[in-house]
Amino acid sequence: MGIDPPAATAAEKKPKQDTVLKGLPITELTADEAILHALNRLAYGPRPGDIERIKQIGLAKWIEQQLNPNSISDSAAEARLEIYPTLRMHTPQLLAEYPNPKQAAKQELRAQNQNPNSNQQPGVAAAEVIARDMQAKSAAQDPVQQTAQGADAATTAMAQEMESTPAAGKASDSSGAAILAPAADTPSPMKLNPPTRGASQKDPLGMDPNAVPRAISDDSKRPQRVVEELAMVKMLRAIYSERQLQQVMDDFWFNHFNVFAGKGQVKWYLTSYERDVIQPHAFGKFRDLVTATAQSPAMLFYLDNFLSADPNAAQRLAAERAARQQMRRRAYGYPPRPPQQGRTRNHSSAG
């Protein structure tokens, strides 16, 4: 008669959870896999030393800190942002410090015309305004446009080189029609070095991705600097900020409630839009976020709400004006016409 072995207890069957994952319902991932998954989903990926730091405090504690960004000291990242002055400016100050070049030139021209001591002729001043406007416009050209133009120029150069292939390279297809085939010693245009494509053509891929934008490096007062600094700051925060989930959520909601910086006055509203509207509501209620974005000057201008008007506004205003006049008549003791006529007849009969 055999003796059955004692059944294994539940504690013995269940694998022991790593202390790093304590308090989390994670059973199928190792500690390193769980931390890496959290960094990829709640942050911009692991940085050197992130995994080791999370192991020291525990993954649950790290997630709790990320959900409460104000509990995390981010002084190191904020110190890197001190060189960008536009981040601390409000919209009126940005408009004053980085004015529209056309408006600034017009104001300068107006001031010169109003100054009786100025000996400069209006025609010369207007020509200088136009020259400065053209120079600012060429200097403020988007790097993406420059790359696209360079790519178009390179494509045109390749087409010209292919058309200039010697006629000796002709062949015929199955129908006997002559087709153009490059000579055996003619390299493909895509394999040519940039100097071979044309010395006057700049390589569209030769741009330095680490180059500081000209609006910042030149310390210019052009409006483009406001947008360039926002882009630089967004990258720096994504890399160095300890409030990683805050940066992820800010970027998500900023893209969700997106506005176009190249439209009119929007570029001057962007700093306040992200700082005062998106960031404070990133972890709040969605209703409050929608209301704040809908009422922000950046969104109002982007959606042309300042141009919204009732097509029947004139008729409605006329009706409202007539109603106000009628209410004034009643308030000052001037009743409508029928009662007034009846009261007049009564007075005449009594007399």
- Which DSSP string corresponds to 134-162? HHHHHHT--HHHHHHHHHHHHHHHHHHHH
Secondary structure letter of residue 273 according to DSSP: I
CB 29 within 8 A of CB 37: yes
Tokens of 146: 């420059």
At residue 212, the pLDDT reads 65
Task: Tell me whether residue 128 is exposed, middle or buried, using C-beta atoms within 10 angstroms of its C-beta: 0 to 12, 13 to 18, 19 or more.
Answer: middle
CB 271 within 8 A of CB 89: yes
Tokens of 239: 């890399």
Per-residue pLDDT in tens (0 to 9) along the chain, 351 residues: 556 655 555 545 566 777 888 888 988 889 999 999 999 999 999 999 999 999 999 999 999 999 999 999 999 999 999 999 999 999 999 999 888 877 666 666 666 666 655 555 545 555 565 566 666 655 555 555 555 555 556 555 555 555 554 444 444 444 444 444 444 444 444 444 444 444 444 445 455 556 666 666 666 788 888 999 999 999 999 999 999 999 999 999 999 999 999 898 899 999 999 999 999 999 999 999 999 999 999 999 999 887 877 778 788 888 888 888 888 877 777 765 454 454 455 544 444
If one counts every other C-beta atom within 10 angstroms of the C-beta of residue 297, the result is: 17
Tokens of 70: 């104000």
At residue 198, the pLDDT reads 44
Which of 315, 310, 84, 308 minimizes the C-alpha distance to 213?
Answer: 84
If one counts every other C-beta atom within 10 angstroms of the C-beta of residue 72, the result is: 15
If one counts every other C-beta atom within 10 angstroms of the C-beta of residue 267, the result is: 22
Q: Tell me the DSSP string of 153-211.
A: HHHHHHHHHHHTS-GGGEEE-TTS-EEE---TTPPPGGGS-HHHH-TTSPPTT---TTP
Sequence-distant (≥ 6) Cβ neighbours of residue 100 within 8 angstroms: 223
User: What's the CA gap between 268 and 226, in Å, rounded?
Assistant: 7
Helix (H), strand (E) at residue 64: helix 59-67
> Which pairs with CB-CB distance under 8 Å and at least 24 residues apart come from 283-291?
283/67, 283/69, 283/246, 283/249, 289/253, 289/257
User: What's the CA gap between 254 and 324, in Å, rounded?
Assistant: 45
User: What's the CA gap between 98 and 233, in Å, rounded?
Assistant: 18
At residue 318, the pLDDT reads 86
Global pTM value: 0.57
User: What's the CA gap between 180 and 169, in Å, rounded?
Assistant: 6
Q: Tell me the DSSP string of 8-49.
A: PPHHHHSPPPPGGGTTS---SS-HHHHHHHHHHHHSSSPPTT
∠ CA 295-300-303 to the nearest 5 degrees? 135
